[in-house]
A and B are shown apart, each in its own frame.
Chain A
Amino acid sequence: MPLAQPRLGPVNGPTILAITSEGSERQGFAYGWQTPATGAPVANLAYMFPFSVSDPYPVVNGFVVNGTAVAGNVDIGIYDTAGNRLVSSGATAQSGTSTIQLLPMSYTLAPGLYYCAFSASSGSANFLRWPASSVWFRIAGHFQQSTAHPLPATATFAAAAQNDIPIFGLTRLTVV
């Protein structure tokens, strides 16, 4: 017997980032219990977290939460589960300390599973980050890729090995 109505999942929020319901809580646990702190990411390493959308989701901005120092370039992108880059901001100079930096992009996601990716070109760049064991990031479905700035057209997923993740994400809002 066919379904009487579409099997709709939870509504996505105005922003998509690793510790909202699009991220860890979908996996059945939360890894945001520790207090975020500023720090530098590994230069040229792509950090990737999974998320799913239940309804068409119009992405208009990627974003990063900058810390106390800016340096080099940052790139935010979206990949499908096969590792194909769907859209990215492209390498953009990190700008503005202790604030959110928007990285415009335009792409409407169809319902499904995706990866949101971040890379920065400088080990001196400073971002707000969540600390957690890489064990938790791995079982939450995170991946990473070395030598990935700007973000490559095709991702090569490797096991997440970092003990923190910069706070970055996507939004349908024009301002956050």
Chain B
Amino acid sequence: MPLSNAPAHRRQNPVLQWMSIVNGIGNVHQGTTSGAPASGAWPNANRAIYVPVLVDAPATVYRLWYYAGATASGNYDLGLYDINFKLLVSTGSTAQSGTNGYNNRDVTDTTIGRGIYYVAMSLSNTTGTVLRSVASNFATYHRAFGVLQEENAVPLPATATPAALSTNYIPVIGASLRATF
């Protein structure tokens, strides 16, 4: 078959997360001092942090997840927003439990189209921890990649009103396009 008849090439990883150069914002992590994410207390009570992910072809989101840090405390909410910041699906406010590992939650199967989406997480206090990335040049570096935040966001709002990121903190969060993760 001639090359011109090949099907359209689209990239798609089974997991949507911001560190991916395929479905994420990629090189942001190269601006970190340590090069590796580490456990860190949530930067402000009830703050939501929105991190962009890219979807090149229609897909179904089955699970939302975060990587827990060393201490579990308070309530968290995980969600997926479209580019207009409409909440598509979320876990709802849930007590944080488990440490130092993936906390992945089944959510209503949600079919999404090609486009930009935001995976969001909020946490109700500053005792709970999450694995997070810290850039060497404060939040301005993360801001350049489109990471946003919102206060008073537990549970996550139906429509987000994001503001500029004020803290040097990106949680390791994402969405799974498979039922198992």
Contacts and interface: CB of A to CB of B under 8 A. Distances in A.
Given A32-B27, A35-B33, A11 B148 contact: no
Interface string A36-56: 111000000000000000010
A32 B137 contact: no
A13 B7 contact: no
Interface string B17-38: 0000110011100110100000
Contacts of B148: 173, 175-176
A100 B140 contact: yes
Contact of B146 (A7, A8, A14, A128): A14
A11 B146 contact: no
A163 interface: no
Interface in A53-71: 55, 63, 65-66
Contact of B52 (A5, A14, A100): A14
Given A11-B54, A14-B83, A35-B33, A128 B140 contact: yes
B145 interface: yes
Given A3-B8, A11-B114, A14-B146, A36 B55 contact: no
Interface in B12-68: 21-22, 25-27, 30-31, 33, 52, 54-56
B7 A20 contact: no
Interface residues of B, number: 36
Nearest to A54: B56
A20 B56 contact: no
Given A25-B26, A128-B141, A8 B31 contact: no
Contacts of A8: 8, 10, 56, 114
Given A1-B5, A5-B8, A17 B144 contact: yes
Contacts of A20: 25-27, 145
B27 A15 contact: no
A interface secondary structure, majority = loop
B137 A128 contact: yes
Contact of B144 (A10, A11, A65): A65
Given A11-B56, A30-B30, A98 B145 contact: no
Interface string A3-31: 11111111111110101110011000010
Nearest to B118: A14
B180 interface: no
Contact of B27 (A4, A11, A24): A24
A155 interface: no
A37 to B, nearest CB: 8
A176 B5 contact: no
A169 interface: yes
B179 interface: no
A94 to B, nearest CB: 14
A122 to B, nearest CB: 20
Contacts of A30: 21, 26-27, 30
Q: Which 6 A-B pairs have the closest CB atoms?
A: A14-B146, A19-B27, A32-B27, A32-B30, A15-B146, A11-B54
Interface of A: 1, 3-15, 17, 19-21, 24-25, 30, 32-38, 55, 63, 65-66, 98-100, 128, 167, 169, 171-173, 175-176
